[in-house]
Structures are given as C-alpha cells and as structure tokens.
Amino acid sequence: MPSNKLDYEKIVKAKWKENAKQVSQLLKDGDENTLAQVKTYSDRFDEPVEKVKGKILDDSLFANCFAKDPVRQTSHEKIAYEYLNKHIKILNNFCKLPQSGKNAVYLTDNGMFLKYFITNKRIGKALDFHWKTKDKMFYASHKYTKDSGGAQDNQFNEQAALLRKFKENSVHNEYLFIICDGKYYTENKIKHLKELTSDRSFVVRIEEVVSVVEKIISKGKK
C-alpha cells in the first residue's frame, strides 16, 4: 500500500472544527441556516431564542452543536475526486461524472458504458469518475464505507454487480476501476470482489489507482 494514504475521516474532522469556528460569526451575520437551527433548538427544548443565541456566543462548546455538517459540504466522493485530480499527468482529462441527467454514465448488462440519453433509463448506480490516458478509456466507481449494515451491504453488492457486467465488455481499450475505501472493506471483502475481475477491471484502494494505471500504460508500450 502506498505511504500517502488518504485519511477521509481526518479531512472531515478538520472541516468540522473549521465550521465550528464560524458559528458565532454566522449567527452575528444573520445566517439563515444558523438561525433556523437556533429556532429548532428553541422549539425542541422550550428555550427562548435569545437565550440560545447568548449561549452560543458565550460557550464555544455549545456553539459546536450548531456547526454545519461537513459531509453535506464535502462528500467522501468529493474528497476522492480532489485526491485523484492531483494526478492529472497520469489520469488525463480526469473528471467527476454526473450522478443523474443525460450525461450520467451507466454500465449495461453487456458491459457497455452508455450515457443516460442513449439508454433512456437508469441502470444501477451511475459511474463516478472518468479519464483517458493515451488511447485507453477508464471509468471508476468509488465507495467509501465506514460501518457495516444493510445499506452498506447494498453498496458492496453494487460494486460486485459492476464487475460482473464488465466481464461482458469486449472493447479492448476500456477499463473499469472499483475503488473501495473505508473499514467496511476488509481483506475478505476485497478478495471476494477481486475474484470477479477480468484482465481490464481492478479492485483497488484509492492510493493504488495511479500506480495501476501506470502499469497498464507501461504494459501497452511493450
């Protein structure tokens, strides 16, 4: 595993602290979202609005409770995008794909990558990232999953379904990356997914993406 490990939770925690420092000023500036949170707190606990405001300004620990949720501002997918976007010399034309609308890209049952306006229907989850290096086209699905549970198992199954579909792909210059990060993806789960790969599909941690692409390109030069 590369040493430059991406610590998603560290980034999110730093954002929590940054947002917490802004609460008092947002309140003074009359920020609508902050005032709405104050009103909700006031209604929920039968405390006067002005008393809640005063407590926020006087008590930084109490103010922390009104910080904006960073996950709503910076999703794990966005963190992954920012990490990979630093490597555009290798991941040429790297972009984040839309998750809905006519330009969202899906993988069909016969392993073809098609946009919504061609398929005219959603086919599972849309792909997350795309880049082109040399004459090779790369698509990636990204999941950061921290805990276990039903919804998380569904995400795992989505990744497995993509790998099964891609086995039908016959376009020699197309590649699929399944990026799995977070504690949920144990060695056994990664092993299970890798058993579903073909010679042009890969199950990786995000830190491994660039090195695997480099190997693919290097192999193509021989």
Any long-range contacts for 64-71 (C-beta under 8 Å, 24+ apart)?
A: 64/20, 64/23, 65/41, 66/23, 66/27, 66/34, 66/37, 66/38, 66/41, 67/16, 67/19, 67/20, 67/22, 67/23, 68/19, 68/22, 68/33, 70/12, 70/15, 70/16, 70/18, 70/19, 71/12
Does residue 3 fall inside a structural domain? no
Judged against a pLDDT cut of 90, whether residue 70 lies above it is answered with no
Last residue of a domain, one of 57, 72, 87: 72
Same-domain check for residues 62 and 130:
no
Identify the DSSP state of 2.
Answer: -
221 — pLDDT class (breaks 50, 70, 90): low
Can you tell me the distance from the alpha carbon of 17 to that of 135, in angstroms, rounded to the nearest whole number? Answer: 44
pLDDT recorded at residue 66: 97
Last residue of a domain, one of 72, 93, 112: 72
pLDDT recorded at residue 74: 63
Report pLDDT digits (tens) over 152-178. 889 999 999 999 999 999 999 999 999
Can you tell me the distance from the alpha carbon of 128 to that of 171, in angstroms, rounded to the nearest whole number? Answer: 20
pLDDT recorded at residue 72: 73
pLDDT recorded at residue 73: 65
Same-domain check for residues 94 and 65:
no
Same-domain check for residues 51 and 84:
no
Same-domain check for residues 101 and 114:
yes
Does residue 1 fall inside a structural domain? no
Helices (H), 46-199: 49-58, 60-64, 70-73, 76-84, 116-119, 150-166, 187-194
Does residue 158 fall inside a structural domain? yes
Does residue 171 fall inside a structural domain? yes
Same-domain check for residues 94 and 191:
yes
Judged against a pLDDT cut of 60, whether residue 222 lies above it is answered with no
Same-domain check for residues 204 and 126:
yes
Same-domain check for residues 99 and 202:
yes
Report pLDDT digits (tens) over 97-149. 999 899 999 999 999 999 988 877 778 889 999 999 989 999 999 999 987 77
Last residue of a domain, one of 34, 51, 72: 72
Q: Is the dihedral of CA 148, 153, 71, 127 positive or negative?
A: positive
Same-domain check for residues 45 and 101:
no
Same-domain check for residues 65 and 84:
no
CATH of the domain at 80: 3.40.91
Judged against a pLDDT cut of 50, whether residue 1 lies above it is answered with no
Does residue 2 fall inside a structural domain? no
Can you tell me the distance from the alpha carbon of 207 to that of 2, in angstroms, rounded to the nearest whole number? Answer: 6
- Per the prediction, the chain carries an average pLDDT of 92
Same-domain check for residues 39 and 107:
no
> 80: closest CA among 186, 182, 8, 183?
8
What is the share, in percent, of the chain residues with pLDDT greater than 90?
80
Report pLDDT digits (tens) over 36-45. 999 999 999 9
pLDDT recorded at residue 83: 96
Q: Stretch 22-40: mean pLDDT, rounded?
A: 96
Domain count of the chain? 2
Same-domain check for residues 27 and 132:
no
Same-domain check for residues 81 and 191:
yes
Q: Stretch 10-21: mean pLDDT, rounded?
A: 94
Supply the range of the domain harboring residue 56.
8-72
